[in-house]
Amino acid sequence: MSGISFDVEYDLAVIGGGAAGKSAALTAAKGGLNVVILEKMSEAMGSAQHAEGACAFESSEQKAREGGDVHMPTKEEGFREYMRYSHYRANAPIVSMFVKNSAEAIEMLREVGVEFEKVISYLPDMPEELASMHIPKGMGMRCQELLQKAVRDAGVDIFVNTPVEHLILDNGAVVGVIAKDSDGNEIQIGAKAVIIATGGYGCNKELMKKYNYIGGDSSVWATIPPEMGVKNTGDGFALAEEAGGVINGGGVVQLFAGGIGKLPGSESGAAGTQPCLWVNQGGERFINEDIATKGTFAGTALAGQKDSIAYGILDQDMIEYLQNVGSDTSFGAFLQMHKPMTHLLDELEQDMAAGQAWKADSMEELVNQIGLPKEVFLETVETYNRACDRGIDEEFYKEPRFMKAIRRAPFYAIRIAPDYPTTCGGIMVNEKLQVLNRERQPIAGLFATGNDASGLYGDTYTMTVPGSTNGFAHTSGMVAAKYILSVLKSE
C-alpha cells in the first residue's frame, strides 16, 4: 500500500444498512471478519423495511408446504422464468447464483428469529406467478429489526448519519472509503473489501430521467419520502464509477401506480387506480384497466402517457363499493384487497382542495373541471358504458368482471401517475458480486449488491417471480460476503 493513512481499519466496510448490507455484514462477522456498516440515514433499515416478503426456491419453508394446493417452484423453474421473462437479457450466471443460494438466505433469516407465515404467489389475478414469496410475520419491518439486532450482536460496528463520499484506491484496488460522521468530520476508513449496498436510485429524479428504460415524464413520479426512512439516490453508482466500474442495465424500474403526492396505502390514490375507467390527457382510454390488479404493469402503462398522467373516473356506485367492500387491488402491507376504505371520502376532500381530484353531478361538469377535451371525453365515457352493458370490451379486452358502467352521480375524477419507483440494478457485476470495469475484469476489493447490482432482470421487473427485489438483496449480500471470506481466509 502506498503509504495511505487511515483513521480506522476493518476487514470489510459495507456502504448501506438495508437488506443487502446487513446480510453481508452478518455473514462476514459470523465468519470472523471485523466489519463496519456506514449508513447515511438515521437508522440502518433501508427500503426493505417496507417490503412484504422475499423470493426463494426450494427453501425449507417451501419444502414443508409441498404436496398442498400450491405448487412450490424448483430452482430450475425459477431460473427458466427469469430468463424467459427477460427474453434472455438477464445475466444467466447471476440468475443461477441467486436461485441456487436463495434458500440459504431464508435460513439466515430464520436463524435470526424471522418467522415465515406463508409462501405464496403474490397477485391473485396473475396465475402464471410462481409461489416464491416468503411472507414473514411483521413484514419487512420486523425482518429488518431482527437482522439489525443480529448484526449488532455479531459485533458489527454500525455508524448512522455517516454517508460515504469517496472510495480510496491504491494502484487500481479499492482499499477503503472516505465518509463523513454525524458531526461532519471526514473519516478515512481502511478496508480489505468494500461492498456497495446503497439501494439504487429510486429517490433521485435526475438519475431516473437519465437511466430508466420505461420513458415518460419521470419528474412527476412520486418517490418514497425521506420520512419513511428511505433515501436511495444512487450514491453507489457514483462510487462505482469513481473506481472504474460500469453502469450497465441501470434502467430497470419497479414502478407502481397511485395518486400524485400520496403515501403508500392512500385510499384515494388506490381509488383512482382501481380497474375502473382510465383516461389520458386527451380524454381517451389507452389500456385494459384490469392491469391495475397486476402490480407494476399499471405503473409502466401510466408512464407512457403524456406527462405520465392519467385520470381514474368513478361514480357513486364505485365509491360505495370501495367503502363497503374495499379495493380490488392490493399493495402489500400498505393496501389490502377487499378491506373497506373508511377514510376515502375524507381523503378525496383533501385531494379536491389540492387540485388532484374532482367531483361533479354530471359528466359535462366533471370534464369542464378537469380541463380535458370535452367531446372526446364524453364519447369515451359513452362508448365505455355501452361496452359495459354488453359485457365485452372490444377495444382493449378488459376482463368482463371489471366492466362496470359509470352512470350514477356524483362522479369523481382522480389524477393518477406512476409512483414509488424502486430501481433494480445498474452496476455491472459478476456472479461473485465483484464490480467489473470496462474490460469486464473485477475491480479488486469492490463489490455491489442488492438494487445496486445488475443482472437479475431484462428491461423490466419480473412480475411472475414475486419477492425478487428483497430476496436478491438478502441473497446477494450473503453471497458477496461468503466470497470475501473465502479470499481473506486464504491469504
Query: Which of 420, 449, 481 delimits the end of a domain?
Result: 420
Band (336; pLDDT cuts 50, 70, 90): confident
How does pLDDT run across 190-207, given as a tens digit for each residue?
Answer: 999 999 999 999 888 889
Segment 140-144 mean pLDDT: 94
Residue 439 to residue 463: CA distance in whole angstroms: 32
Q: What is the pLDDT of residue 284?
A: 98
**Per-residue pLDDT reduced to its tens digit, 219-239:** 777 666 666 767 899 999 999
By residue range, what is the domain housing residue 181?
A: 8-199+234-252+424-490
SS (H, E, C) the chain: CCCCCCCEEEEEEEECCCHHHHHHHHHHHHCCCCEEEECCCCCCCCHHHHCCCEECCCCHHHHCCCCCCCCCCCHHHHHHHHHHHCCCCCCHHHHHHHHHHHHHHHHHHHHCCCCEEEEECCCCCCCCCCCCEEEECCHHHHHHHHHHHHHHHCCCEEECCCCEEEEEEECCEEEEEEEECCCCCEEEEEEEEEEECCCCCCCCHHHHHHHCCCCCCHHHCECCCHHHCCCCCCHHHHHHHHCCCCECCCCCEEEEEEECCCCCCCHHHHHHCCCCEEEECCCCCCCCHHHHHCCHHHHHHHHCCHHHCEEEEEEHHHHHHHHHCCCCCCECCCECCCCCCCCHHHHHHHHHHCCCEEEECCHHHHHHHHCCCHHHHHHHHHHHHHHHHHCCCCCCCCCHHHCCCCCCCCEEEEEEEEEEEEECCCECECCCCEEECCCCCEEEEEEECHHHECCCCCCCCCCCCCCHHHHHHHHHHHHHHHHHHHHHHHC
What number is the average pLDDT over the span 36-60? 93
Decide if 111 is inside a domain.
yes
- Whether 264 and 174 map to the same domain: the answer is no
Residue 177 has pLDDT above 60, yes or no: yes
Regarding whether 314 and 297 lie in a shared domain, the answer is yes
Same-domain pairing of 263 and 361: yes
List the grid coordinates of 109.
Answer: 433469516
Do 132 and 59 lie in one domain? The reply is yes
Which of 12-16, 125-129, 179-183 reaches the highest mean pLDDT?
Answer: 12-16
CATH of the domain at 283: 3.90.700.10
Task: Choose one of 420, 454, 481: the last residue of a domain.
Answer: 420
**pLDDT beyond 80 at 264:** no
Give the pLDDT of residue 69: 86
Using 50, 70 and 90 to split pLDDT, how confident is the model at 358?
A: very high
Residue 1 pLDDT level (bands cut at 50, 70, 90):
low
Q: Bigger pLDDT: 359 or 214?
A: 359
Q: How confident is the model at residue 94 (pLDDT cuts 50, 70, 90)?
A: very high
Please name every residue paired with 9 in a beta bridge, in sequence order, or none if there are none. Answer: 190
**pLDDT in the model for residue 226:** 65
333: confidence class by pLDDT, cuts 50, 70, 90: low
Does 283 share its domain with 385? yes
Write down which residue in 420, 443, 467 finishes a domain: 420
Share of the chain above pLDDT 70, in %: 98
Contacts of 258 (CB under 8 A, 6+ apart): 222, 264, 266, 269, 270, 272, 273, 416, 417, 419, 420
Q: How large is the average pLDDT for residues 310-335?
A: 90
353 and 483 within one domain: no
What pLDDT, on a 0 to 100 scale, did the predictor assign at position 280?
97
Q: What are the DSSP E strand ranges found in 284-340?
A: 310-315
Shared domain check, 160 and 47: yes
How many domains is the chain partitioned into structurally?
2
Residue 263 and residue 240 share a domain: no
Give me the chain's average pLDDT, please: 93
Residue predicted with more confidence, 387 or 67: 387
Query: What pLDDT sits at residue 225?
Result: 66
The yes-or-no verdict on residue 76 having pLDDT over 80 is yes
Domain check: are 36 and 173 in the same one? yes
Q: Is the same domain home to 358 and 404?
A: yes
Tell me, yes or no, whether 316 and 372 share the same domain.
Answer: yes
pLDDT surpasses 60 at 57? yes
Q: Per-residue pLDDT averaged across 298-306, rounded? A: 91
Question: What length does the chain have?
Answer: 491
- Report yes or no on 17 lying in a domain: yes
100 and 171 housed in the same domain: yes
Question: Which is it for the CA torsion 124, 315, 356, 303, positive or negative?
Answer: positive
Give me the percent of the chain exceeding a pLDDT of 90.
78
